[in-house]
Structure 1
Amino acid sequence: MLNPDEYFVQLYSDLNKTSDHARVQPWRERKADVRTKLLASLGDFPRGLSELNPVVGEKIDKGDHYLERVIYTTDVNLQIAAFVLIPKGLTGRAPAVLAWHGHGYGSREIVGLRPDGTTDDDPPGIHQHFALHLVRRGMIVIAPEIIGFGDRRLSVDRGKDPKKNSSCVALTSRLLLYGKTLAGLRIYEAIRSVDYVLTRADVDPNRIGSMGFSGGGLIASLSSALDERIQATVLCAFTSSFSGSILAMNHCIDNYLPSILPFAELPELIGLIAPRALFVESGREDPLFPVASVQEAVAKLKEIYHSEGLASNLEVDLFPGKHEVSGRLSYDWLARQLKA
């Protein structure tokens, strides 16, 4: 047999045998160690926190909300552009949600804009313009452009179709040489995005949420796991196991965390969010995150939330659909959690 398929099956099988002892320990005894191993896997975060120095552009009236574009600094020579959607009629500080897009043309895809910035009046794609649904429920929404997509691609990629081309592979390759990972840089920038949100006079610092779709689900899940300022999280089309999804088929390189499997499976990393509020939604026909893998992960998450004494803080919706945002229950759930 010349193909290496069985080799990787054996690797996972051997891993289960060698790590069984650690994983049968009570979750609350393992939790701190899993968090430490996750941080190590993500790589070397920037050490000197730069000033955010936010620059806010024009506020545009979009009918039922206002739209701003803001740029803030996350590290030396590294800036994020984000859309900020603000409900009309606010009378005081409001809850805020960080909204993380998946693979596609970037943050414009979730705020109802085409790649050129014009209004997208066509039926929404798999992202469902989900930031619009959140702002219409009374939440301020911050939609950062994830590094590697849209305006934040490498210069060599900027002339290519943003719907089909990202800089994920090139960024990952370069970062590895410095002991860093693309996932780690994105999580760091997500945490810095929380820092920015908390500078806004219109945001209630005690009502911060996060929602991510697909690759944005990785960012929402792991940033929420590591940053307890985030009180409620929605994961769309991401929650699964490594064995049932990331290892079972080709995924973007940004999903792979070095050396993490000997210490934790994906639902345990997501479980670091517990006991804070978590909503998992996934399509029953999603080919990238198969429903059997989702159900396996949900079962583990239920164990974790039960051990934390707050089983009711985990909610799940397996909806009839494919790899897409649903929101049929999650939008209102998030609004309730943040008292919008």
Structure 2
Amino acid sequence: MKRFFYPDSPGNMILRLFLILLLHAIPLLFSPLFAQEEDEPEENLDVFWKWVKWNNPGSFLIDHYIKQAEGLHDLREQEIAKLKTKEEWQARQKWVKDKLNELVGPFPEKTPLNPRITGVIKKEDYRIEKVVFESMPGFYVVGCVFVPEKIKKKAPAILNVIGHSQEGFRGEIYQQVYLNLVKKGFIVLAIDPIGQGEDVQFFDPDIGENGFSSVGYSVVEHCYAGNLNFLSGKTLARYFTWDGIRSIDYLVSRKDVDPERIGVTGFSGGGTVTSYVSALDDRVKVSVPCSWSTACRRHTETKGTQDAETNFVGGLKEGISLEDLIEVRAPKPTLMTFTSRDQYLSIQGAREAYQEAKKVYNVYHEPDNIQFIEDDFKHWMTPKIRQKIYKFFMDHLDVEGDPTEEEVQFLSWDELNVTPTGNVIDWLKGENIQSINAKETAPLLKELEVSRKTIPDHLEKTMKKAPEISGYISPEYGDGDPFFNGRYQRDGYSVSRYAIKGEGKYLIPFLLFKPNTGKPSYPAIIYLHPDGKAAEAAPGGQIEEFVRKGYLVAAVDVVGVGECKNTVTRENADDYTGVLIGRSTPGIQAGDIVRVVNYLRHHAQLDHENIGAVGIDEMGIPLLHATAFEPAIKNLTLVGSLISYRSVVMNDLYKIGLVFNSPGYWHPWEIDFSWGIAGVLTGYDLPDLIGCIAPRKVALAGLKNQLLETATDEAINLDMKFPHSVYKYKNASENIKIEEDVNDLGSLVNWCFK
């Protein structure tokens, strides 16, 4: 039978469409088999490009820190597992209390509060007393006392500490809670946290419409001030905690407050402060920390360490974790509240902390005194959580009535404004955290100054304390074979890509630039740039200039820099983890540098007696440590390096570690601490390390002050006095050179190698 083809029939049109689609689909179906890989750039200086195992070098540093933190959590959990009896738990509680006082303190003596009421507002069923008092002389706390009109005798009082809202206790979510508590018969004192509301620390009246912080909103201020405290070996948590403790002093001084019925609550950052105050002040009968952050295993693993005030210097190294802040209170009533989808906190960590805390409450036969509530929501206090807060306080502070949440009329900023200028420091010309920390650091600097008078002893002390404080671990010589990953030939020299084993489970990538002049050996330069090994690696760059002059150059990306720059957390999450575990990023990076030096010492075409180092800007800090610790580095050239940590702590403002975030005054910077070492000024400063390098040659060009401006002659004379005295003592005054600017880096390096 003859078949006819009708091209326009519906069936054939469908067939034609199917064939067309099939023809277009075939290349897509087989493209994985035949498509070429993405072409590698003609000259690619990334060592880990398209690797499988080491495919995320941006996580090297934080992974390394977390691995060490996990080991410390393991040790703590082993100790907790041993606790069976009430007596054993009581011994643990005493140890924790003492350790917290050591880590968060030492606290100052209690001085007169000198409270003043700046205004009173009467509402239908309560009144507001606006109050300012001094937690330390000249250091002010701003708040409002909300007093129910219906009370006829001494009433229970609650201190409400606040999270990171810039408006402080005036935020509506906070008003929702404390106004409901007032309606139920509680006196409430709500205070502005440091850096928020009317307690902005670095206030500039010329910023914005009504003045603002010169460094940014609350989180930025906290980390900015926290870095200053870390350098001095202190924690910002001390100020938050002490303000809370002195706030309780104020409450119990009032005739209308029952001192035996004191509670504390706070949400988010306020939850953190609640946990501190409740752990350290025995007058707190009932504690309700809500959605708060303090380092625990799961939080470190998932969300990462948070603002400076959540981290104690060496806290985890000393065995303190979030759970301890709850357990030390047992058997006093504590309610923990969290949300399951919190974008900042780990709900799993909260659950595990609760399960551990139940053990000590069970030992005390008070299982109902520790409670936990969660709701399925983001970072917030949901109606379900708020309802539980009211009931918990009413049950445990003996307040009768209906715990149901009531509708409240929110108050405006003007109604809750306590100071006439909008900022208590601006109004009363008081102290801020920087000024107090500077005064407390002055004796440490004096101790260093006295110690420096005996040069040999001081150098010995520095060489002992600097590795200990910075967390430097000396590498084993010849630790690990290099991984070679390709070479490029350029005019007159080659560029090779290498990686060697780092301190932990990470690799250190570097580029090796070698002249093709046929010499049997070359002097070598270790080169570090804050923008990474490729920053000056292009033809015509600074590295090529060195190579043309006959140097073998190793341009290194130490962990946290360049190809290994942190890409997975906030700017300071990795470095603040280091603060917790007693390590520092410069200390770890110094170990990376020494590992590269050790590799170069194996290199057949290297003059082993001629290894020098060049550090640009903030990379001068780890390089200075490495050179002091490793005598195989024969000379050092630093360009634009920080002159001292003293200059940061003792001046009003600093700019080192400020990473641009956005234009405007609200959040202009992220605050980085990769340059800092917690506790450094308790044992040494950068000039002391220069003294330890003597009599080896050191060239310093364009030294920077805390504002990253060229250091003045006065600052140079002050900070470089000790290094000069050491070089003179060792009859090597000609081996240290300080220049105001860098006109010819190559000539400066040549001077070091002569």
TM-score normalised by L of structure 2: 0.41
Contact kept, 8 Å, 1:235 with 1:280, in 2: the verdict is yes
User: Of the candidates 39, 49, 52, which is equivalent to residue 101 of structure 2?
Assistant: 39
1:75-224 map, 5 Å: 75-110=136-171, 124-125=172-173, 127=174, 129-156=176-203, 159=207, 165-166=217-218, 167-224=221-278
> Counterpart of 2:130?
69
Per the TM alignment, residue 238 of structure 1 is displaced from its structure 2 partner at its CA by: 1.7
Amino acid at match of 1:142: L
> Counterpart of 1:119?
none
Per the TM alignment, residue 157 of structure 1 is displaced from its structure 2 partner at its CA by: 5.7
> Counterpart of 1:11?
68
Contact kept, 8 Å, 1:109 with 1:129, in 2: the verdict is no
Which is bigger in relative contact order (C-alpha 8 A, separation at least 6)? 1
Contact kept, 8 Å, 2:295 with 2:311, in 1: the verdict is no
Q: In 2, Cα distance between the equivalents of 1:18 and 1:315?
A: 26
Per the TM alignment, residue 128 of structure 1 is displaced from its structure 2 partner at its CA by: 5.9
Give per-residue Cα distances to partners, 1:16-59, cap 9 Å, x unaligned.
Answer: 4544543333233311111111122214322x322011101222
1:227-238 map, 5 Å: 227-238=281-292
Of 171-180 and 25-34, the range deviating more from structure 2:
171-180
Q: Does 1:29 align with 2:29?
A: no
Change (3 A) 1:91 1:78: same
Contact kept, 8 Å, 2:120 with 2:127, in 1: the verdict is yes
Contact kept, 8 Å, 1:70 with 1:84, in 2: the verdict is yes
Amino acid at match of 2:182: V
Change (3 A) 1:211 1:246: farther
Q: Does 1:321 align with 2:377?
A: yes
User: Of the candidates 232, 235, 242, which is equivalent to residue 296 of structure 2?
Assistant: 242
Change (3 A) 1:19 1:95: closer
Change (3 A) 1:20 1:315: closer
Change (3 A) 1:17 1:274: closer
Secondary structure in structure 1 of the residue aligned to 2:217: coil
Give per-residue Cα distances to partners, 1:189-236, cap 9 Å, x unaligned.
Answer: 111111111110111111111111111111111111111111101111
Contact kept, 8 Å, 1:240 with 1:293, in 2: the verdict is no
Amino acid at match of 1:284: S
Query: Percent sequence identity over matched residues?
Result: 27
Change (3 A) 1:293 1:89: same
Secondary structure in structure 2 of the residue aligned to 1:152: coil
Change (3 A) 1:240 1:254: closer
Q: In 1, Cα distance between the equivalents of 2:74 and 2:217?
A: 40
> Counterpart of 1:280?
336
Q: In 1, Cα distance between the equivalents of 2:77 and 2:160?
A: 36
Q: Does 1:264 align with 2:328?
A: no
Change (3 A) 1:240 1:316: farther
Q: In 2, Cα distance between the equivalents of 1:192 and 1:67?
A: 20
Unmatched tracts of structure 2, length 5 or more: 1-53, 84-88, 400-754
Contact kept, 8 Å, 2:66 with 2:301, in 1: the verdict is no
Per the TM alignment, residue 106 of structure 1 is displaced from its structure 2 partner at its CA by: 4.2
User: Of the candidates 326, 330, 335, which is equivalent to residue 389 of structure 2?
Assistant: 330
Per the TM alignment, residue 14 of structure 1 is displaced from its structure 2 partner at its CA by: 2.4
> Counterpart of 1:116?
none
Change (3 A) 1:292 1:18: closer
Amino acid at match of 2:387: R
Q: In 2, Cα distance between the equivalents of 1:209 and 1:45?
A: 21
Give per-residue Cα distances to partners, 1:238-271, cap 9 Å, x unaligned.
Answer: 2776222255325222211121213122112221
Between the two proteins, the alignment pairs up a number of residues equal to 324
Unmatched tracts of structure 1, length 5 or more: 111-123
Amino acid at match of 1:132: L
> Counterpart of 1:308?
364
Amino acid at match of 2:282: E
User: Of the candidates 200, 213, 226, which is equivalent to residue 280 of structure 2?
Assistant: 226
- 4+ residue segments displaced more than 6 Å: none
Q: In 1, Cα distance between the equivalents of 2:61 and 2:313?
A: 20
Q: In 1, Cα distance between the equivalents of 2:359 and 2:366?
A: 10
Secondary structure in structure 2 of the residue aligned to 1:73: strand
Q: In 1, Cα distance between the equivalents of 2:68 and 2:264?
A: 34
> Counterpart of 2:111?
50
Contact kept, 8 Å, 1:232 with 1:276, in 2: the verdict is yes
Contact kept, 8 Å, 2:125 with 2:183, in 1: the verdict is yes
Q: In 1, Cα distance between the equivalents of 2:387 and 2:346?
A: 20
Give per-residue Cα distances to partners, 1:87-123, cap 9 Å, x unaligned.
Answer: 112111111000011001243335xxxxxxxxxxxxx
> Counterpart of 1:115?
none
Q: In 2, Cα distance between the equivalents of 1:247 and 1:186?
A: 26
Q: In 2, Cα distance between the equivalents of 1:8 and 1:134?
A: 42
Q: In 2, Cα distance between the equivalents of 1:181 and 1:324?
A: 27
Secondary structure in structure 2 of the residue aligned to 1:210: strand
Of 238-247 and 294-303, the range deviating more from structure 2:
238-247
> Counterpart of 2:657?
none
Secondary structure in structure 2 of the residue aligned to 1:44: coil
CA RMSD of aligned residues (A): 2.1
Per the TM alignment, residue 173 of structure 1 is displaced from its structure 2 partner at its CA by: 2.0
Amino acid at match of 2:101: L
User: Whose radius of gyration is greater, 1 or 2?
Assistant: 2
Q: In 2, Cα distance between the equivalents of 1:204 and 1:247?
A: 42
Per the TM alignment, residue 305 of structure 1 is displaced from its structure 2 partner at its CA by: 1.1
Contact kept, 8 Å, 1:43 with 1:184, in 2: the verdict is yes
Per the TM alignment, residue 12 of structure 1 is displaced from its structure 2 partner at its CA by: 2.3
Per the TM alignment, residue 307 of structure 1 is displaced from its structure 2 partner at its CA by: 2.0
Secondary structure in structure 2 of the residue aligned to 1:84: strand
